[in-house]
Copies of this chain bind each other. A is one copy, B any other.
Amino acid sequence: MEPVKQIDIKENMKVSELIKEMSLSGVFGAGKLAKCADIFELMLKDKATIFLGAAGALVPAGMKNILIDLLGYVNVFVATGANLTHDLIEAIGHKHFQGNEHADDKKLNEKGIDRIYDVYMENKVYQDLEDFFDKHFDELKDITNIKEFLWKIGGFLDKKSILKTCYEKKIPIFCPGIADSGIGLMMNNKIMEGKEVKLKALEDLNEIIKISMDSKKKGVIYLGGGVPKNYIQQAMQFTSGADYGIQITLDRANTGGSSGAELKEGISWGKLNKDAKFVNLHCDVTIALPIIVAGLKEKIK
């Protein structure tokens, strides 16, 4: 048995040194956080095809640039419509603001401020979103493939953003719940005006399946649960299990939903290989992810 090394903190410590100490302690959240960093490194060294799923409200939470960093390491990106809508909102010039989770929501409403836990957003962003889709509708309306549709949007953008990065690097980006987002609603506005939008619900599903089929080694990284996690999990289930897995979520397993299910459960389904290396970290993504990426940047250049 390996002893739990008591963590030592030194002055001027680098994040990578802290991860090393956490790795030597090896237990509880600290040990699992270090294991996330270790498994990420293994995925990269093994040249695994990496599937990244990102749920939640990561862009409003200040994780946009870190997600863009991650796009330099991963091969497939699956997102909620919310993450992409907030990315687009910043890309067309808006910001998110530091708020208060105990705010009076009635007063915020009167001021035209939308609250996302302790983040504020001005409701007027929707007018600019609408203008954006007005301007580009003719180039978007005939696209049938959601991934191509998102790449096309990325191509319209000047500012550094997730959508633009996926477009430029041609990273397959999937958003099966596109109807459940501000982007979906903006396109629906046009439908309600009588126009046609040709996006098909299932057209790019075979693409993620094929990528999974064609990969010799595979790694999955889940930031939160939701559709992004489950969509990658089902791609594994219907092809072959992942060899590496990292899950960071505050969701619980006992609700029985996919979001909180431990990765281990996926072994029964064939979503994860029997001898896979994996870790479930119970932590706020905004705390864990910066640490992991800081460690990664030092190790993998």
Contact of A62 with B by CB under 8 A = yes
Q: Residue on B with the closest CB to A190?
A: B202
Interface string of A263-283 (1 = CB under 8 A from B): 011111110001000000011
Q: Total interface residues on A, using CB and 8 Å?
A: 126
Is there contact, CB below 8 Å, between B177 and A254?
no
Contact of A157 with B by CB under 8 A = no
Interface string of A106-124 (1 = CB under 8 A from B): 1011000111111110010
Contacting B at CB under 8 A, from A268-301, are 268-270, 274, 282-288, 290-291, 293-294, 297-298, 301
Is there contact, CB below 8 Å, between B269 and A109?
yes
Is there contact, CB below 8 Å, between B27 and A60?
yes
**Chain B residues with CB under 8 A of A56:** 255-257
Is there contact, CB below 8 Å, between A57 and B256?
yes
Contact of A25 with B by CB under 8 A = yes
Q: Residue on B with the closest CB to A269?
A: B114
**Chain B residues with CB under 8 A of A176:** 177-180, 184
Min distance, Cβ A246 to any Cβ of chain B, angstroms: 15
User: Which of A9-17, A43-51, A165-173 has 4 or more CB atoms under 8 Å from chain B?
Assistant: A9-17
- 14 new A-B contacts at CB < 8 Å, known A30-B290, A176-B177: A1-B97, A1-B99, A4-B98, A7-B63, A21-B290, A28-B62, A30-B286, A105-B265, A105-B268, A116-B261, A184-B202, A184-B205, A227-B227, A250-B282
A residues adjacent to B (C-beta < 8 A): 1-16, 18, 21-22, 25-31, 33, 55-57, 60-66, 69, 82, 90, 95-99, 101-103, 105-106, 108-109, 113-120, 123, 146, 176-182, 184-185, 187-188, 191-192, 197-203, 205-206, 209, 224, 226-227, 230-231, 234, 238, 249-259, 261, 264-270, 274, 282-288, 290-291, 293-294, 297-298, 301
A-B contacts, 21 listed (Cβ < 8 Å): A1-B99, A7-B62, A7-B290, A12-B14, A12-B298, A18-B290, A22-B62, A28-B117, A28-B256, A29-B283, A30-B284, A30-B287, A56-B256, A101-B253, A106-B274, A116-B256, A177-B227, A199-B200, A250-B255, A252-B282, A287-B287
